[in-house]
Structure 1
């Protein structure tokens, strides 16, 4: 199991782009990819091919060897243990009222899995998104209206849903208090 190396790589791409004051559009054009694709990579919604990854690195004028310094390498243990203080908030799309906290991320065999705690403030909603993964959501508390494609599901504490996230999807907190979801993203690991 390789703990969150892929997440670290995607976060570093985003951080470097922001440090260099390069817009998503500018980098996408320079790397020969779409702005949407680049956004999905930065927001952990897809894992780029090696060719796309190298094109992004080259377009930001980064030495590939320098890019890979300072990564936390995986442990050789078959167990990944994290203390609560190690679970860090992170940002996905520009959303209001969506608070993400990564619990655990690992690559197991041919899959990359990402466990996230998502808190939705009252009335929080966003435009539909697509993720190059399968998603599992378990409602810990609150009321969430989940739209997947043309279907709408009203979910309450204890309810769960599993779906192909390439289908447009969008959660909306329809309760009067914050809602909390345990989320599992399952990606095919890059080859």
Structure 2
């Protein structure tokens, strides 16, 4: 059977959700955090965190990002296996798809990992945000710094409520501790490269 929302075979989806849940649980234990503490740090409800740890929830990318920030790891770690690629080069055809089993709350955005693994001091993503993409309901806020550059299209970046309109060729840099969210209110998809310094781990 195939999951109707993701198009992923149910068995594979269940296995991936279980793997993510086990990772979240083990990392939380390593850091000596209670479930409630992780939930508070990540800005999520304890019930959602519990469901994810037990493999009973299919979290959106935003939720995984919040969990990653709460655990002080790059979000890409949820999608990478134990065997990391040895090459420093990531071919276009070999990018890790970070959106394989997740959905954004408003409008789906495609996220592909541009860095070969999650062991470095930064993480880069290729992001395609379709018209209507909106993350304002769950603003991001975490340690670190981010840089983004728009390759095509147009998007609104909000930093603590202040709107910044970015078009092709425009870039932005900001402290990730500032609440930030993204809205594509335009008629074409926005293609951008986003680089972030993951929290210390």
TM-score range, shorter chain: 0.5 to 0.7
Structure 2 alignment gaps of length 5 or more? 1-14, 26-32, 45-61, 74-80
Give the CA deviation at 1:82: 1.8
Change (3 A) 1:93 1:123: closer
When residues 135 and 93 of structure 1 are mapped into structure 2, their CA distance, relative to the original with a 3 A threshold, is farther
CA contact (8 A) 1:45 1:130 kept: no
Give the counterpart of 2:133 among 121, 124, 127: 124
* Residue of structure 2 aligned with 1:82, choices 85, 90, 110: 90
Secondary structure at 1:85 match in 2: helix
Is the 1:146–1:172 Cα contact (8 Å) retained in structure 2?
Answer: yes
Is 1:154 matched with 2:165? yes
Which structure is higher in strand share? 1
8 Å CA contact 1:41–1:48 kept in 2: the answer is no
In angstroms, what is the RMSD of aligned CA positions? 3.5
TM-score by length of 2: 0.60
Q: How does 1:8-157 map to 2 (within 5 A)?
A: 15-18=18-21, 31-37=35-41, 42-43=64-65, 45-46=68-69, 48=71, 71-73=82-84, 75=86, 80-91=88-99, 94-95=104-105, 96-104=107-115, 105-108=117-120, 112-126=121-135, 127=137, 128-157=139-168
Whole-angstrom CA distance in 2 between matches of 1:49 and 1:88? 20
Contact 2:72 2:199 in 1 (8 A): no
How many angstroms does 1:15 deviate by? 4.3
Q: What is the TM-score of this pair, normalised by structure 1? A: 0.62
With over 3 angstroms needed to count, the CA separation of the structure-2 counterparts of 1:74 and 1:41, relative to structure 1, is farther
Structure possessing the higher relative contact order (Cα contacts under 8 Å, 6 or more residues apart): 1
Query: C-alpha separation between the residues in 2 aligned to 1:46 and 1:35?
Result: 11
CA shift, 1:31, in A, is: 3.5
**Aligned equivalents of 1:188, 1:17: Cα separation in 2:** 19
Tell me which stretches of 4 or more aligned residues in structure 1 moved more than 6 Å.
none
Change (3 A) 1:74 1:153: same
Q: Aligned residues, how many?
A: 147
Distance of 2:83 and 2:173 partners within structure 1: 31
